[in-house]
Amino acid sequence: MTGGRYRKVVVLGSGALKIGEAGEFDYSGSQCLKALEEEGVFGVVVNPNIATLQTDPPRLGRVYFQPLTPEFVEPILAAERPDGILLSFGGQTALNCGIQLADKGALRRHKVAVLGTPLAGIRATEDRAKFVEVMRKAKVPTLPSRAVYSGEEAHHVAKELGYPVMLRVAYTLGGKGGGVARTPGELTEAVERGLRASPVKQVLLERYVGAFKQIEYEVVRDRLGNAITVCNMENVLGMRVHTGDNIVIAPSQTLTDAEYQLLRQAALRAVATCGIIGECNIQFALDPTSLEYYAIEINARLSRSSALASKATGYPLAYVAAKLALGHTLPELKNRVTGVTTACFEPALDYVVVKLPRWDLAKFARADRRLGPSMKSVGETMGIGASFPEALLKAVRMGDPRAELAPPESCRPGDEILRDLAEPTPDVLEVVLEALRAGVPTERIGATAYIDPWFIEALRHVEQVDARLRATRAATPLSLPLVREAKELGLSDRAIARAVRQDEEAVRSFRIAAGLRPHIRMIDTLAGEWPSTTNYLYLTYRGDADDVTPGPSGSVLVLGAGPYRIGSSVEFDWSTMNLADGLKAEGVPSVAVLNCNPETVSTDYDRSDRLYFEEITLERVRDIVELDRFAGVVTCVGSQVAQNLTPLLAMCGIPVLGTSPTSIDTAEDRARFALLLEDLRIPQPAWRAFTTLESAQEFADEVGYPVLVRPSYVLSGQAMRVIPGRHDLEEFLTRATRLSPEHPVVITKFIEDASEVELDAVSDGDQLLVGGILEHVERAGIHSGDAIFCLPPRHTSPAVQEALVDVARRLARALAIHGPFNIQFLVKDGAYQIIELNLRASRSLPFLTKATGTPLLREAARAILGKPLRQDGIAPLPPGRWGVKVPQFSFLQLTGSDPLLGVEMQSTGEVACFGPTFADALVKALVATGVRLARPHGSAFVSVGGTALKEQLLPTAQRLAALGYGLFATEDTAAFLRARELPRVTVLHKVSEPDRHPNVMEALGDGRIDLMLAVPASLTQEKIERMLEDEYILRRRAVELGIPLFTSLEAFDAYVEGLAWVREHPLTVEALYGTSGESGSTVGPVSGVPLVSVRRRSRPAATPTSSAPDSHTRSRRSDPP
Amino acid sequence: MVGYPESLTDPSYRGQILTFTYPLLGNYGIPDPAARDRWGLPAHLESPHVQTRGVVVRGLTDPSHWAATRRLESWLADEGVPGIAGIDTRRLTQHLRSAGVLRGVIDVRSGDEPAVPGEQLARQLRDAPRYDAEPLVEEVSPASAAILGDRTWPLVAVLDCGVKTSILRNLLDRRLSVLRLPFDATVPSDVGGRPVVGLLVGNGPGDPATLAATVDELRRPSTRALPTLGICLGHQLLALSRGGSTFKLKYGHRGQNKTVGFADGTALIVSENHGYAVDPMSLSGTGLRTWATNPDDGTLEGMRDTTGRLLALQGHPEGHPGPQEAGFVFDRFAQKLRRRAS
């Protein structure tokens, strides 16, 4: 039908993972590329997200690791001469970039057609006024809203709209100044605040519909106008909470047919009127007590919700959307599940799915925990079951395998509980259970928390079963009907064991002896009505039979990494799939994947032989292995979540493939690891484990402060802290942790001014394949996930590098490592110390694999199966190639959070760019994460404490001055710089001295500061409360204003090096790899890819400056559903 | 997933045990079953009573909805219709898929009564009348004729074999009066001087081939001359009246997600509930032409005649439950009648 209409198409990705735009776009982009490949279309991928599967070497196409801004994409259009561009597979980032390319005339200039929804349709959904107009045409109501410019006007309008009213402040970052006013009194105050915050002195008043139901539909439409709704979804916490932070259930549970169809027909009308071709999401607010409804917004692209809907139904939305964009029609396409029936149908579900967000707010100092209109979660899980509780309780354990959703042991007074319900936080479900146990009536809970009573009644069932279990006397035998009821409700063996005060294993044995086990069910899009052969599976206790029989003998189960979260993200999905593909290539008859994150490629059912969309818990893995009789389980690619199961699975007699559980335990148990290092004479920092404060203090005094304090079995630096002095140690150990024999604290000497280096490798127990040695730009003390790092190392000497490889080889042999591993080292003055060994795939593996073109996990698959590696030595980096990885932070989205980096990881994603020099790659990677390049002749604000640091700052400051930048500094720093004869140094007074001028806050507000270095005082001198507060306010303000902020001198210095570089050199735009020509005849990295350059203008750095922050200024759009 | 009050009161389900594939039922309770619209039709239901003989569900839930007046199970009890919960309905669906539609028995008893032995249940099942031998249409068709709607509106005859309320309401909403006739009635040329300008043959239960009287009436020249809209069973009866034939599907088309494909590459999603279908091959020489087909199994989904007078579709353009995109057929029908009336 398309008949080769398109030859080559550019696909824009979404860049680094950030709050509101996460790994779901790896799923949509990957499905899109699959569709292009099927059609023989050459796909050109632009995406700097190094950890994605969509940027792996393509079978037909090329991959550019470049910022998603018009300045970088236009040269690609010029060089590649594609006939089309796809904007709807890379989230808001791709859509924004596409709109800018169109606005700048780039698409017209290069004769590139926008495939799928035309630009006019995209604009109709992006521009508020146009949206209202189009919805009016479609006869779909929108929420009345009005702009006001004064308090008086506001009261007038609010009276008209009716209280409460929602305030939105135009053109402010992060929705600052917005909120809800319930009374005229609140309105007066809110409008005053809003007008002050608004640069155009305008506040938008809207009717507040927080208590309305929030219902979404996923709509697919083709060029002939054929349209279907694939799925609808209901948000349990109503309109009040952003859908990204909401508990979402599919299909909707509390809608009647009349309501369902009312909204469905409105969705179809709205989408047709916008002219959508492909996929979109439409969101409605529906009155819980009438048929009144409003369309809130349309996302004319794949989204988080569409990824969820795909996984919830088995309907491959992104794949179909890509096919439709290429010109196919819905009836032409087949339902990929049955292979026989048409894709033009609406899936029928015989189960429910519950999406639960994964928040990591505890990782962010000062972050506001309340849930509301802006998104704060970093990932999500999806539980599948036969009832809301079963699916929900699964989703809870999917989010954290240690978690259980159960009523608390004791309840607080009702009014306290209600106060919490009125301002929901991530704990809202626990609070509902507490309210139920405390006897708060359902209606009261519902009215306070804006939760439909249907959901509360379902939770009441959980509360009651828990109570009945607790009433079981410890010694009496368990009641089978009660245990069955509990299992059908989704309770884990562990939750039952806790309630009846028995051992978890006893509960398991009891139920298995009674024949009580879950059954395997298939997601087949047609509720069992048509025979299907899909391998998309889940388990439920509400069933009598399995839909599948065990796979062929020798089958392997690969454990995925669960939800995206700080410290474990899309890189582990990449690892899971690369390893699964490797196992398959090595002849494993059937490779199954277990994962529970709907935003991933690994949960795409046609990527593996069998997909278990299930909990990554011991109980569930055992169930699955027993039912499907796997020959072995792989735990080394699913981050710490999978790795933590290794010893437990081994104890249950389940074969864990790869490095032996004993070796893993040796690496993870600090004491045993230390002994091994001593045996091997590998240096390590002084450390010891403590169970009392006194002994801890004694040790710290002995080795000298600062010290690093942390628990064993760490995931991404949780609760880890650098302690500068004796007083702080006491405070931390008594307040932030509990010291006991079961919870020892490990204290390590913290080595200052050391650099941190990582090594990733694969071993078969004898040979060693090193992926590379990565050097952190920042000094040790910044979590490796938050550090900028580069390849090859800039400062680590060849001798040290050789020594590190030798350490890796000795460890690989000593521990008989079979598979991937990662070592972290400290290097100082030519000497090294080992700080950590991870016997699993690491975060940096995709970067090294892509930079070197060496398929490290393919080799790891061989090692895991006991075969020898095919390569030994260090993976060669193509000569002249530099790669730089830069973290992506989401501080702006997290109201109040402190953007200070430390040993706790806080970044939500990362990018990597490549180039002929460090500076070239660095600048592109920084721009790709939204860091602006300071405008020429602008000014930098620098604030560092202590003479030593000031001395270290000097060369960088001189370089800045030489580049023509002015310097702002606080009194001490300014005096120091002036003494060293730096020109144009201006004193700015502190935040806490608002009466002294010129003040730093004024300078920030007036846009006079283009760049900020704020090295925290806490690392360099004793804490002073007010000073800390000053520093926090400065950092926070810089983030809110989009000013590049550095809290480490080394990263700042690297940035300045980048500024100097772009002054003299154009930035390169080059594909990292791809197939040559458009025939797809060769695979792998190719030379001969056209090298184009961003044209240098008279003010070279100005280009990225003007564009990069755009995606951040649109706060509503930066956190789409 | 939604629409159980509508499905349970759909007369087409008369005599059947209905199994729901969606595992939760009763979420939003039952809206007031006694509520009537301005024409005296049930306001929320497709007929005044539950029509199924039994209901099979996996799980029942506690209802919550502003329009609910009662729980599903208590309504069924009042209606004297048994139901069973806790059944693995997916397994049952798979069984029906391979075995075809089956007869079933539900053992209904109060808690202290002993269970009926399996052999006895099997015997009762064997002795029960066959589905296609039961006079189901007679049970759901009105005993006498009635007129609904405004006197000034064009009058449409409806041969009521168990027509759903929503089909009638779709006519009334388009300012068409309804002459509701028993299934075996003769369509009059006028009622008290008001001419009958169109004919609708709607849905109903059972095998169309057993409804000889209705088929004969549809063959009568004056009836045949009327602009006609056929829906579901009506679609099948009209095919039979023109010389086509019907057959029993293995397990029917039942659901709100069925696809209807047209020759020009467009398609619609409709709600369906039928166990019999028209054999498209049998249409040759009848003056009827294929209008739409089911892309999954190639069965006939719609037909029209060469004169433009007749349009029939197998699915339900009125939805309730389900999609209403095919509602345009009512618009076209109404336009045709108005043109004719004026």
Instruction: Give A915-944 pLDDT, tens digit per residue.
Output: 999 999 999 999 999 999 999 899 999 998
Q: Is the pLDDT of residue A1019 over 70?
A: no
A862-890 core/surface letters (b: 16 or more CB in 10 A; e: else): bbbbeeebeeeebbebeeebbbbbbbbbb
Q: Are residues B291 and B193 both part of a single domain?
A: yes
Task: Examine the domain organization and report whether B205 and B80 are in the same domain.
Answer: no
Q: Which of A175-179, A627-631, A910-914 has the lowest mean pLDDT?
A: A175-179
**Mean of pLDDT values over A771-796:** 95
Choose the weakest-confidence range: A699-713, A717-731, A755-769: A717-731
pLDDT of residue A77: 96
Higher-pLDDT residue of A78, A179: A78
Examine the domain organization and report whether B153 and B295 are in the same domain. yes
Q: CA of B92, closest CA in chain A: separation in Å? A: 9
Residues on chain A touching B22 (C-beta within 8 angstroms): 348-350, 527
Q: Is residue B293 located within the same domain as residue B158?
A: yes
The answer to whether the CB atoms of A344 and B61 lie below 8 A apart is no
Above pLDDT 90, what percent of chain A? 76
A214 Cβ contact partners less than 8 Å away, ≥ 6 residues apart: A234, A235, A237, A238, A239, A243, A246, A283, A284, A285, A296
Of all residues in chain A, the one with the smallest CA distance to B251 is A529
Residue of B nearest to A522 (CA): B90
Closest listed residue to residue A776, CA positions, set A857, A843, A855: A843
Same domain, residue pair B97 and B175: no
Q: pLDDT band at A1120, cuts 50/70/90?
A: very low
In chain A, what percentage of residues exceed pLDDT 70?
92
B28-86 per-position pLDDT tens digit: 999 999 999 999 999 999 999 999 999 999 999 999 999 999 999 999 999 999 999 99
Chain B CB within 8 Å of residue A345 CB: yes
Q: Is A255 on the interface with B (CB under 8 A)?
A: yes
Complex ipTM: 0.97
Q: Say whether B2 and A386 touch across the interface (CB within 8 A).
A: no
Q: Which residues contact A213 (CB under 8 A, 6 or more apart)?
A: A234, A235, A238, A239, A254, A255, A285, A286, A287, A288, A452
> CB distance A386–B63 less than 8 Å?
no
Q: Which is catalytic among the residues B161, B232, B272, B320?
A: B232
Span A234-292, pLDDT tens digits: 999 999 999 999 999 999 999 999 999 999 999 999 999 999 999 999 999 999 999 99
**pLDDT at residue number A1024:** 63
Residue B100 banded pLDDT, cuts 50, 70, 90: confident
Same domain, B13 and B94: yes
Backbone angles phi, psi at A14, to 5 degrees: -115, 5
Chain B hits for A252, CB-CB cut-off 8 Å, are 2
Kindly report which listed range (A81-85, A203-207, A427-431, A975-979) carries the lowest average pLDDT score: A203-207
- Work out the mean pLDDT of chain A and round it to a whole number: 90
Chain position carrying tokens 């002993």: B114
Compute CA distances A108 → A81, A102, A426, whole Å. Answer: 12, 7, 47
The answer for residues whose C-beta is within 8 angstroms of residue A642's C-beta and 6 or more apart is A559, A560, A561, A616, A634, A635, A636, A840
Residue A1096 has pLDDT above 90, yes or no: no
Q: If you search the block for the tokens 């796909």, which residue do you land on?
A: A43
Coil, strand, or helix at residue A38? helix
A31, A114, A121, A746 from A88: Cα distances, Å = 12, 10, 12, 48
Residue A202 is predicted with a pLDDT of 82
- CA A652 to chain B, closest CA, distance in angstroms equals 31
Which of A256, A453, A528 comes nearest B93 by C-beta?
Answer: A528
First-to-last CA distance in chain B?
A: 44
**Domain at B67, CATH number:** 3.50.30.20
* pLDDT, average across residues A999-1015: 92
d(CA B232, CA A447): 44
Residue of chain B with shortest Cα separation from A451: B64
Average pLDDT over residues A5-18: 95
Q: How much is the CA Rg of chain B, to the nearest whole Å?
A: 20
Determine whether B79 is an active site residue: no
Which of the pair, A862 or A713, is modelled with greater confidence?
A862
Q: What's the whole-number mean pLDDT along residues A690-697? A: 87
Q: Going along A74-188, which residue ranges are E strands? A: 84-86, 113-114, 145-148, 165-169, 179-181
Could you tell me the CATH number of the domain that includes residue B257? 3.40.50.880
Stronger pLDDT, A1094 or A52, i.e. the higher one = A52
Q: What angle do CA B231, B237, B241 make, to 5 degrees?
A: 135
Q: What is the pLDDT of residue A783?
A: 92
Report whether pLDDT(A903) > 90.
no
**What is the pLDDT at residue A1025?**
66
Q: Is the pLDDT of residue A128 over 50?
A: yes
Residue A173 has pLDDT above 70, yes or no: no
B95 is annotated as an active-site residue: no
CA distance A602 to A578: 10
What would the mean pLDDT of A857-873 be, rounded to a whole number? 97
Residue A738 has what pLDDT?
66
CB B304 within 8 A of CB B291: yes
In the predicted structure, residue A1002 carries a pLDDT above the cut 50: yes
Q: Would you say residue A631 has pLDDT above 80?
A: yes
Domains assigned to chain A = 8-121+1087-1115 (3.40.50.20), 125-139+210-300+303-347 (3.30.470.20), 145-207 (3.30.1490.20), 362-513 (1.10.1030.10), 519-657 (3.40.50.20), 686-749 (3.30.1490.20), 939-1043 (3.40.50.1380)
Other C-beta atoms lying within 10 Å of the C-beta of residue A849: 24
**Domain end residue (candidates: B80, B105, B128):** B128
B63:A454 CB<8 A: yes
B274 shares a domain with B170: yes
Tokens at A692, concatenated: 């009392």
Nearest chain A CA: its distance from B193 CA (Å): 38
Average of per-residue pLDDT across A953-979:
94
Strand duo A656-657 + A632-634: pairing? parallel
Verify that B227 and B122 share a domain, yes or no.
Answer: no
Query: What pLDDT score was predicted for residue A719?
Result: 67
User: Measured at the alpha carbon of residue A553, what is the angle toward residues A552 and A554, in degrees to the nearest 5?
Assistant: 115
Range in A99-108, A527-536, A938-947 with the lowest mean pLDDT = A527-536
| Distances in whole angstroms, Cα of residue B200 to Cα of each of B178, B227, B233, B324 | 9, 9, 11, 18
DSSP string, A1026-1094: HHHHHHHHHHHHHHHTT--EESSHHHHHHHHHHHHHHHHSPPEE--SEE-STTT--S-S--S-PPPEEP
Residue A900: count of CB within 10 angstroms of its CB: 22
Number of domains present in the structure of chain B:
2
Write the DSSP string, A900-961.
Answer: ---SS----EEEEEEESSHHHHHHHHHHHTTPPPPPTT-EEEEE--SHHHHHHHHHHHHHHH
Least confident of A86-100, A222-236, A469-483, B186-200: A469-483
CA distances from A972 to A777, A986, A997 (A): 27, 11, 16
Q: In what helix (H) or strand (E) does residue A1101 lie, and over which residues does it extend?
A: none
**Predicted local distance difference test score (pLDDT) of residue A724:** 84
Are residues B87 and B155 both part of a single domain? Answer: no
Q: Mean pLDDT across the stretch A541-548?
A: 94
Distance of CA B30 to the CA centre of its chain: 20
pLDDT over 90 (residue A965): yes
pLDDT at A732: 77
**pLDDT at position A1086, please?**
28
Closest chain B residue to A489 measured between Cα atoms? B59
In the prediction, which pLDDT does A736 show?
Answer: 64
Q: What is the pLDDT of residues B213-255, one digit of tens each?
A: 999 999 999 999 999 999 999 999 999 999 999 999 988 899 9
Interface test with B, best of A234, A529, A544 (most B CBs within 10 A): A529
| A332 contacts chain B (CB < 8 A) | yes
User: Which of A224, A253, A290 is the closest to B266 by Cβ?
Assistant: A224
DSSP assignment of B247-288: EEEEEEEEEEEEEEEETTS-EEEEEEEEEEEE-GGGGTTTTE
Write down which residue in B128, B151, B178 finishes a domain: B128
Q: Prior bond to A164 cis, omega within 30?
A: yes
- The amino acid at A85: I
pLDDT range class, residue A720, cuts 50, 70, 90: confident
What was the pLDDT predicted at A1084?
A: 28
Q: Does the pLDDT of residue B139 top 70, yes or no?
A: yes
Assign A200 a pLDDT band (cuts: 50, 70, 90). Answer: confident
Between A612 and A166, name the one with better pLDDT.
Answer: A612
Q: What is the pLDDT of residues A564-595, one digit of tens each?
A: 999 999 999 999 999 999 999 999 999 999 99
* Residue A203, CA distances (Å) to A133, A163, A171, A344, A900 in order: 21, 16, 10, 44, 32
- Same domain membership, residue B150 and residue B122: no
User: Inter-chain contact A224–B64, Cβ cutoff 8 Å?
Assistant: no
Say how far apart CA A198 and CA A1115 lie, in whole Å: 14
The candidate with the shortest Cα–Cα distance to A451, out of A417, A421, A419, is A421
pLDDT of residue A1023: 55
Question: CB–CB of A260 and B97 under 8 A?
Answer: no
Q: Does A260 touch chain B (CB under 8 A)?
A: yes
Average pLDDT over every residue of A650-676: 95
For the four alpha carbons of A778, A779, A785 and A790, in that order, the dihedral sign comes to: positive
Q: Are residues B219 and B244 in the same domain?
A: yes
Residue B91 with chain A: CB contacts under 8 Å: 543-545
pLDDT at A711: 58
- B99 lies in the same domain as B208: no
Residue A1109 in this model has a pLDDT that exceeds 50: no
Q: Contact at 8 Å (CB) between A838 and A713?
A: no
Residue A533: Cβ-neighbour burial (10 angstroms; 0-12, 13-18, 19+): exposed
Residue A69 Cα, gap to closest chain B Cα (Å) = 38
A350 at interface of B, judged by CB pairs closer than 8 A = yes
Which domain covers residue B299, as residue numbers? 136-341
Res. A1110: pLDDT tops 70: no
Q: How far apart are CA B192 and CA B205, in angstroms?
A: 31
Residue A811, pLDDT above cutoff 90:
yes
pLDDT of residue A1083: 27
Select from B94, B128, B162 the last residue of a domain: B128
* Distance separating alpha carbons of residues A13 and A96, to the nearest angstrom: 11
- Please say if B217 is a catalytic residue: no
Phi, psi of A320 (to 5 degrees): -65, -40
